[in-house]
Amino acid sequence: MEHAEKKPSYLQHHFADMEQQTDAAKLGMWVFLVTEVLLFGGLFGFYTFYRAWYPEMFMEAHKYLDVAMGTTNTFVLITSSLTMALAIRAMQLGKKKQTIAYLAGTLFFAGVFLVIKYFEYSHKIELGMLPGKLYFFDGIQAANPHIFFSVYFTMTGLHGIHVLIGMTIIGWVMVRTMRDDFSPEYYNPIELTGLYWHLVDLIWIFLFPLLYLIG
């Protein structure tokens, strides 16, 4: 056992050095993101198979989605990804206040995303464009329009839950930053949080055209 160098407090006992620890953590996070891709992938399957069976219904039903709100949300989420990446960069440079500011910015944009979603959802709920048995909107001619909204609500709903989870994790990492847990030598948890948050953005990048822009 080497006692020559003082081991940092954040180095866990079963790792030889920080590089091994951070590499392992990042690998673990990427593997976890794989599970998220497959989880959402099931819903992308739901979308694909039903769009293949009911192409005209999808075409007609999707027109009732608000493209302006969806587009705005896309810009909002991309911005939040930018601020998240900049937060990591700030801590790489040791700038604690900047890190906190960018993390707060990420939370802010995530919040805006959810607020816009809230308006979208409540509008649909009011009009009866609901999933499955709850559906009661009159205006769509094609058969089984509730299927589109089942797809819409499950996909955006699961995505929204992940936004909430992401916000919680970002909040926690922000608290840890304020507590001086991080430095240019150790900012791994912020990186891992960033990976998770970027995945949430990635999923929306595909959700948005598939649901809102069928054409």
Partner 1 sequence: MEQQNTATAHHVLPLSLYFTVAGVLFVLTGITVAISFVHFGEFNIIVAMLIATVKASLVALYFMHLKYDNKLFMAVFLSSLIFLGLFLTLTMTDTMHRGDIDPIKEHPIKKEAVFYNK
Partner 2 sequence: MSVATTANYLNEEKGLKSWLFTLDHKRIGMMYLFAVMIAFFLGGVFAILIRLELLNPGQDFFTADTYNQLFTLHGAVMIFLFIIPAIPAALGNFVLPLMLGAKDVAFPRLNLASFYIYVVGALFALYSIVAGAVDTGWTFYTPYSTTTSTSVISMTLGAFILGFSSIFTGVNFIATIHKLRAPGMTWFKMPLMVWALYATSIIQVLATPVLGITLLLLIIERTIGIGIFDPAMGGDPVLFQHFFWFYSHPAVYIMILPGMGIISELVATFSKKKIFGYKLIAYSSLGIALISFLVWGHHMFTSGQSEFSSMVFSFLTFFVGIPSGIKMFNWLATMYKGRITFEAPMLYTIAFMFLFAIGGLTGIMLGAISIDIHMHDTYFVVAHFHYTMMGGTVIAFLGGMHYWWPKIWGRMYSEKWARVAWALIFVGFNVTFFTQFFLGSQGMPRRYYNYLDQYQPLHMYSTYGSWMLGVGFLIMAYYLIYSIYKGPKAPNNPWGGLTMEWQTTSPPIQHNFEEQPVLEHEPYDYDTRMVVNDQLIKKEDVKEKENINV
Which chain residues interact with partner 2 by CB under 8 A? 1, 12-16, 20, 23-25, 27-28, 31-32, 34-43, 45-46, 49-50, 53-54, 131-134, 143-144, 146-147, 150, 153-154
CA-CA-CA-CA torsion sign (98, 100, 106, 112): negative
State the minimum distance, in angstroms, from the CB of residue 37 to partner 2: 8
State the minimum distance, in angstroms, from the CB of residue 128 to partner 1: 26
- Which of partner 2, partner 1, none does 20 bind, CB closer than 5 to 8 A by kind? partner 2
What would the DSSP string read from start to end of 54-79?
-HHHHHHHHTTS-HHHHHHHHHHHHH
Q: Does residue 169 interact with partner 1 by CB under 8 A?
A: no
Q: Does residue 143 interact with partner 1 by CB under 8 A?
A: no
Contacts for 169 with CB less than 8 Å, ≥ 6 apart: 193, 196
- Which of partner 2, partner 1, none does 134 bind, CB closer than 5 to 8 A by kind? partner 2
78 or 175, CB closer to partner 1?
Answer: 78
- Which of partner 2, partner 1, none does 22 bind, CB closer than 5 to 8 A by kind? partner 1
Of 56, 78, 161, 164, the residue at the interface with partner 1 (CB under 8 A) is 78
- Cβ pair 37, 195 in contact under 8 A: no
36 or 176, CB closer to partner 1?
Answer: 36
Q: Does residue 22 interact with partner 1 by CB under 8 A?
A: yes
Q: Does residue 150 interact with partner 1 by CB under 8 A?
A: no
Contact footprint for partner 1 (CB under 8 A): 18-19, 22-23, 26-27, 30-31, 33-34, 37-38, 41-42, 44-45, 48-49, 52-53, 67, 71, 74-75, 78-79, 81-82, 84-86, 89, 92-93, 184-185, 194-195, 198, 201-202, 205-206, 208-210, 213-215
